[in-house]
């Protein structure tokens, strides 16, 4: 074997050794990457990641067509509320907290012409009011801040026709204020004249 053949064999061996070292390095790097990925995956749970806090001025829920289904955020006069809407984009449910501390829940009919309102004010008075199609309160069940109950029924013009409760009422055609220390029932006609009362 001459020197030229020997040099070719040695060059080939050196090249094979270099390639072998390169493949060893690539293999080691691949094993390290796989190990790192498995360690990171082992540290995570199957639970979805939950943000500690989300800040926004308003949240709006829409359907597949983009129609608004619900809106949560600031309302008029500084109130904060949640509104739910029907398929015709009409407000049907409104939950609100006023700046002065009152809270209210309103349920609105499909045609938008009558409603039920449940309210608690900042002083401790509460009320359940039923409105007709002209948005006049026709029936109210309330408590005064001291807890005294009160029931009020009104005619289609919004005038009181029956008052039941423990409260101070103006109930005479002369405008006399009558204080009722006990439970009382007062029936009035359309010009607010008392037609019957007990006691």
3-14 pLDDT per residue, tens: 777 777 777 777
Structure tokens at 64: 């597949």
Tokens of 148: 């005294």
Of 168 and 34, more confident: 34
Residue 128: pLDDT over 90: yes
Judge whether residue 62 has pLDDT over 70: yes
The DSSP string of the chain is --HHHHHHHHHHHHHHHHHHHHHHHHHHHHHHHHHHHHHHHHHS-SSPP--S----SEEEEE-TT--EEEEEEE-GGG-EEEEEE-TTS-EEEEEEE-TTS-EEEEEE-TTSS-EEEEEE-TTS-EEEEEE-TTS-EEEEEEE-TT--EEEEEE-TTS-EEEEEESSEEE-STT--EEE-SS-EEEEE-TTS-EEEEE-
Classify strands 160-165 and 168-170 as parallel, antiparallel or unpaired: unpaired
Q: 131 pLDDT band (50/70/90 cuts)?
A: very high
Per-residue pLDDT at 93 = 93
Q: Output the pTM of the full model.
A: 0.64
Of residues 122 and 77, the one with the higher pLDDT is 122
Q: Which residues pair with 163 in a beta bridge?
A: 152, 186
Residue 122 in contact with residue 104, Cβ under 8 Å? no
Are 138 and 163 spatial neighbours (Cβ–Cβ below 8 Å)?
A: no
- pLDDT of 134-182, one tens digit each? 889 999 998 888 788 888 999 998 888 998 886 555 555 555 555 555 6
The model's confidence at residue 27, banded by pLDDT at 50, 70 and 90, is: confident
Q: Report the distance separating Cα 82 and Cα 107, nearest Å.
A: 12
């Amino acid at each position: 074997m001459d020197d030229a053949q020997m040099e070719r064999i040695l060059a080939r061996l050196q090249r094979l050794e270099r390639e072998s070292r390169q493949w060893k390095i690539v293999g080691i790097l691949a094993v390290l990457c796989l190990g790192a990925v498995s360690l990171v995956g082992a540290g995570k749970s199957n639970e979805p990641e939950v943000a500690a806090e989300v800040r926004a001025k308003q949240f709006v829920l829409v359907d597949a067509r983009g129609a608004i289904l619900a809106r949560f955020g600031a309302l008029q006069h500084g109130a904060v509320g949640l509104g739910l809407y029907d398929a015709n984009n009409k407000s049907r449910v409104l939950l609100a907290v006023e700046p002065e501390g009152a809270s209210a829940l309103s349920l609105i009919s499909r045609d938008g012409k009558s409603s039920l309102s449940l309210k608690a004010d900042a002083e401790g008075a509460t009320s359940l009011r039923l409105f007709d199609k002209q948005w006049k309160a026709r029936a109210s069940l309330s408590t005064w801040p001291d807890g005294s109950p009160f029931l009020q029924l009104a005619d289609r013009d919004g005038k009181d026709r029956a008052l039941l409760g423990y409260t101070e009422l103006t109930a005479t055609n002369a405008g006399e204020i009558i204080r009722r220390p006990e439970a009382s029932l007062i029936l009035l006609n359309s010009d607010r004249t008392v037609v019957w009362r007990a006691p």
